[in-house]
Each structure stands twice: as C-alpha cells, then as structure tokens.
C-alpha cells in the first residue's frame, strides 16, 4: 500500500511538472517588478523615503517629480504665487478617488492640516514645515500661506501624498493607511508585508489607464536572486543590479540594462574638529590620493559619475559648472602631507554602512587602499545601522565616514548637512551657513543659483568631505518591456510600462 502511494505521489509530481512547462513565467497581463528595498509599510506617514515608491502607486501629491527630478503638475494642474508667502494651486478637474467620489480642494486642505498639525507623527512633515495656513478658495482652488518666502514648497509638496478626507475621517488614519484609496494610476489589491504588493489598474486615471492590467511589486533583497528571477522571466523589471553581476545581465540578448545618475552624492566626510583633518592641506592630500575615475570603473561598472569637486551632481539645481574634481596625484598628496607635518603619514579609519549604497563597502575599501598607498594608513570599519544612527546623532563617526546625501534635485536638501541647522555637521563655516539660510528664503531662482554656486566654491576650497560619486541607479528589464526608465529619486514610475 505504501509503495503504491509513493508511486502515485511521484507520478503526480511528474505530471504537474509536465502540465506547467513554464511554471516560472510571469503572467501576461501582470507587470512584475523585483524591488531591492521594500519597506514594511505602505503608509505615507511612516517609513523611510523609499516607502514613497509604494505610496505613490495609489496616492499622488499636488506637484510631482518626474524620473529626472523635474517638477511636474500632478493633482495641481498649475500654480502661481500671489505674494512671496501666498501660493495658489489650481486643482485638476474631473479627478476621482478610487471609490468614485470626486477629488476636491477640501481633501488637500484636510491632508496639509493634518500633516502640519504638531500632534501628528508624520515622518516627512519637515518637508512642508513652513506652511502657516491652507485655505479652500473654491472646489478646485487651494491657497497655501507660508511663514516666510518658501522656494522649496513645491519640492516639499512632492513628497506629501494627498489623502481623501471622507475615507480617512471615517476609518481613521491607521486603517485608511492600511488599504489606500487614492487617485493614482493603480488601485490597492493586496499587501503582504515582506513579500509582495499587488495592485490593479485604475481605468479612470486622469493620466489615462496604465498600460498593464495588474502590477505586482515583489521584494527580493538578495541581488543574485533578483537577477536570477529576471533571467527566469519571473520578473519583468528589477531594481539595483549588483555591479559584479552586470556582465551576466549584459551578456544576455533578452535583457536590457538601464541606468540614470541619481541625486545621491557619495562622500567621505572628515571630522574637521580634530587633528589631523583640521588641516585643509591634509584633506586635500586625501583628495589627491584617491583615484576616483578608476574607482568608478571598478566599483560602479562605469555607471554614475565622478562629482565635479562639489557636493551636488550635474543635474541638481545649484551645480557650479566652473568647478572640477582635483586630479589623482599621489606625489602631490605626499608633498601636501609633508607640508602639513606628516612626512611619514598617519593612521586613520573610515566608517561605512554595508549595503545602504551601491558597492559601499567595496568603495570604502578601495579608497582606503589608495590612501594607504599615499602614506595615510587607512582601515575600514563597517558599522551596523542602529549603531550608525547613534554615532551620527552624537557626532562620533570618527575621523572619516562614508555617506550618501540625497538632493532630490535641489542643493538646499543636501547642503543642510554641512550647516549648524542640521546638528550633524563636523565642519562649520559662517558664510556657508548664512548663504544656506538666504537660499531658502528667496523665490528669485537666479539669486538662488548664485548662492548655491558660491556655496559649492566654499566647499571645494575647504573640503569638509571628499566628493566621490553621483551614484547610479542601475536597473534591468526583459527586452520586451517598454516605457520603463529608472528614476533619479529611485521611486518606481510604472504607469506607462508595457510588456509586449
């Protein structure tokens, strides 16, 4: 009897294998995306920046960023400033929530009021901190008043999902954030934390229905498995191809690699309060000691770019075209060290996270090797995330640490980390702090550009950090996937993606 059952079992297994010859293939009407980082939340109020990648599938902001970090109309069709502290937003007409009710100015006021309420815990509330009041002018018009001229209001609003007043009031935030009812291109279907997020197309989307009927975003944190899932056809698009696996993707004709330079600037920051890095000559010696072009080729597969001797990437507002990276010159590095009183070099250390940025540990190790060759004997210390945040807060990262600063397209966002306002700066410069404050309180774009250009000059001379790379976003897709491109801000924009 047992043997009989065993035979039946084997036969069943064999039969099901024959019946499912392409058992691994993703279904035709469903777009499947393999995500590298998958947050444990789909709530706009919680979770790190990357949560927005899931949030903005169902919800939308007033003003959005496109894949290139440019501001584009979303729920607001157009806007104007009536005075430097008074903005008027004209809302898109005919937009419906996923439950069929019309989107109105009351929803916008409701959202902004609750986000800015001091009693609300909302992770990105700082992005619209300058808002003083929101007023409903009529059903399709909203006025926002700010406490001071706020050039960053639009960029800040791009991170705030507009929520539906009626649903949220009925269910409460907690419940409403669990099953989103938004205005976006995709409707919520199922969310399994740690596994996948299923969505269906919103046929009534104001921007036209999505090109695919269904969307599944899967979390596949291990890079090699992510690549394997694409090769096997289980996913159509994968985020973040590990650099060491790039050749195996590029080799296959049915796969395509896409990349864009992100707005994340990878830097090595000095503790300029203590010797030896309190001496700008020593900091410059390090700059000359690191061969950034070689590092870019070896550690980032040639994607992304070497920063132009300044904090921001080329595509970021505030980039100074007159500055250039200091050349790799070990002899000059040694001369500068000798001049600064370190003819025999010294011992130092770089702190880094592991896996937060593309090739982070590899880059730190290689940079340490180059510094050691120039006489600065450098070790690398990999720090766990929780401990890291404590070191950061207490300004105890040690002589050097590697970090990526995000600009989302405007220099204000990442220069803040070098000002007293951030409470996390090691280097201080009065002029720099003054300029930073000036840059965020005028609406004159020409003036703002001049301000950030000057700030870049100061940083280039003073070198509070070694400016390494504008990190790339490298994604891969099946060749029959159209309409996809990775985004500078790393959010998934999937509305127009089609599998042919």
- Residue 451: helix, strand or coil by DSSP? helix
The answer to whether 310 and 468 are in contact (CB under 8 A) is: no
Taking CB under 8 A as the criterion, the residue among 111, 183, 202, 229 binding another protein is 229
Residues 327-386 contacting another protein, CB under 8 A: 384-386
Size of the site for another protein (CB under 8 A): 51
Q: Is 254 in the site for another protein (CB under 8 A)?
A: no
Best CA proximity match to 435, nearest among 325, 268, 320: 320
The radius of gyration of the chain's CA atoms, rounded to the nearest angstrom, is 25
Residues 303-332 contacting another protein, CB under 8 A: none
Pick the closer one to another protein by CB: 178 or 434.
178
Pick the closer one to another protein by CB: 229 or 429.
229
The answer to whether 419 and 430 are in contact (CB under 8 A) is: no
Pick the closer one to another protein by CB: 94 or 118.
118
User: Within its chain, how far is the Cα of 129 from the centroid?
Assistant: 20
Taking CB under 8 A as the criterion, the residue among 234, 278, 420, 433 binding another protein is 234
Please give the Cα distance from 338 to 330 (Å, whole number): 12
Pick the closer one to another protein by CB: 139 or 244.
244
Residues 106-125 contacting another protein, CB under 8 A: 118-119, 121, 123, 125
Q: What share of the chain is helix, strand, coil (3-state, %, to 5)?
A: 35, 25, 40
The answer to whether 286 and 376 are in contact (CB under 8 A) is: yes
Minimal distance, residue 271 CB to another protein, in Å:
18
Residues 6+ apart with CB under 8 A from 383: 351, 352, 353, 391
Please give the Cα distance from 409 to 152 (Å, whole number): 11
Within 13 Å, how many C-alpha atoms sit on residue 487's CB side? 17
Pick the closer one to another protein by CB: 196 or 349.
196
Residues 6+ apart with CB under 8 A from 384: none
Q: What would the x/- binding string for another protein be over residues 387 to 426, using CB under 8 A?
A: x-xx-xx----------------------xx----x-x--
Taking CB under 8 A as the criterion, the residue among 31, 36, 43, 411 binding another protein is 43
Long-range contacts of 434-437 (CB under 8 A, 24+ apart): 436/412
Taking CB under 8 A as the criterion, the residue among 195, 347, 447, 482 binding another protein is 195
DSSP state of 196: E
Q: What would the x/- binding string for another protein be over residues 149 to 168, using CB under 8 A?
A: --------------------
Residues 6-25 contacting another protein, CB under 8 A: 17, 20, 22-24
Burial (CB < 10 A; 0-12, 13-18, 19+), residue 339, is middle
Taking CB under 8 A as the criterion, the residue among 187, 218, 283, 284 binding another protein is 218
Q: Is 220 in the site for another protein (CB under 8 A)?
A: yes
Pick the closer one to another protein by CB: 2 or 119.
119
Give residue 94's region: left, alpha or beta (phi > 0; psi -120 to 50). Answer: left
Residues 421-460 contacting another protein, CB under 8 A: 422, 424
Pick the closer one to another protein by CB: 48 or 209.
48
| DSSP string for residues in 263-309 | EEEEEEEE-TTSTTTTSHHHHHHHHHH--HHHHHHHHHTT-SEE--S
Q: Is 41 in the site for another protein (CB under 8 A)?
A: yes
Pick the closer one to another protein by CB: 109 or 218.
218
Minimal distance, residue 389 CB to another protein, in Å:
5
Best CA proximity match to 323, nearest among 179, 183, 452: 452
For binding to another protein (CB under 8 A), which residues are involved? 17, 20, 22-24, 39-41, 43, 46-49, 118-119, 121, 123, 125-127, 129, 174, 192-196, 218-222, 224-225, 228-229, 231-232, 234, 384-387, 389-390, 392-393, 416-417, 422, 424
């Amino acid at each position: 009897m047992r043997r009989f059952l065993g035979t039946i079992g084997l036969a069943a297994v064999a039969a099901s294998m024959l019946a499912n010859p392409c058992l691994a293939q993703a279904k035709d009407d469903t777009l499947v995306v393999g995500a590298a980082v998958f947050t444990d939340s789909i709530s706009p109020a919680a979770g790190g920046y990357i949560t927005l990648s899931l949030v903005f599938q169902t919800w939308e902001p007033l003003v959005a960023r496109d894949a290139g970090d440019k501001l584009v109309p979303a729920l607001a069709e157009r806007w104007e400033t009536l005075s430097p502290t008074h903005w008027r937003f004209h809302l898109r007409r005919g937009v419906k929530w996923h439950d069929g009710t019309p989107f109105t100015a009351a929803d916008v006021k409701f959202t902004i009021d609750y986000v800015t309420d001091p009693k609300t815990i909302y992770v990105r509330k700082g992005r619209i901190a300058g808002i003083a009041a929101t007023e409903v002018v009529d059903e399709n018009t909203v006025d926002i008043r700010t406490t001071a001229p706020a050039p960053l209001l639009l960029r800040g609003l791009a991170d705030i999902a507009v929520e539906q007043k009626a649903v949220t009031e009925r269910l409460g935030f907690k419940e409403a954030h669990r099953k989103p009812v938004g205005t976006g291109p995709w409707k919520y279907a199922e969310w399994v934390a740690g596994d996948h997020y299923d969505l269906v197309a919103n046929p009534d989307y104001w921007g036209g229905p999505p090109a695919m009927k269904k969307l599944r975003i899967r979390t596949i944190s291990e890079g090699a498995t992510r690549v394997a899932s694409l090769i096997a056809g289980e996913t159509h698009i994968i985020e973040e191809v590990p650099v060491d696996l790039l050749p195996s993707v590029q080799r296959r004709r049915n796969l395509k690699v896409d990349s864009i330079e992100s707005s994340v600037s990878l830097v090595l920051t000095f503790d300029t309060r203590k010797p030896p890095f309190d001496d700008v000559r020593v900091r410059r010696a390090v700059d000359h000691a690191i061969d950034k072009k070689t590092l870019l080729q070896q550690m980032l597969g040639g994607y992304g770019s070497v920063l132009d001797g300044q904090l921001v990437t080329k595509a970021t507002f505030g980039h100074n075209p007159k500055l250039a990276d200091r050349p790799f010159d070990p002899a000059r590095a040694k001369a500068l060290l000798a001049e600064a009183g370190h003819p025999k070099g010294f011992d130092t250390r770089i702190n880094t996270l592991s896996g937060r940025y593309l090739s982070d540990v590899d880059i730190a190790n290689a940079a340490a090797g180059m510094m050691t060759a120039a006489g600065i004997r450098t070790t690398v210390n990999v720090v766990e995330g929780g401990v890291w945040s404590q070191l950061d807060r207490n300004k105890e990262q040690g002589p050097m640490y590697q970090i990526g600063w995000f600009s989302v397209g405007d220099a204000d966002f990442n220069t803040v980390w070098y000002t007293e306002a951030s409470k996390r700066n090691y280097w201080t410069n009065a002029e720099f702090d003054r300029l930073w404050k000036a840059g965020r309180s005028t609406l004159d774009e020409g003036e703002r550009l001049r301000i950030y250009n000057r700030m870049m000059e100061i940083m280039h001379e003073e070198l509070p950090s070694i400016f390494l790379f504008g990190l790339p976003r490298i994604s891969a897709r099946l060749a029959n996937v159209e309409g996809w491109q990775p985004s500078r801000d790393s959010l998934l924009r999937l509305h127009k993606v089609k599998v042919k």
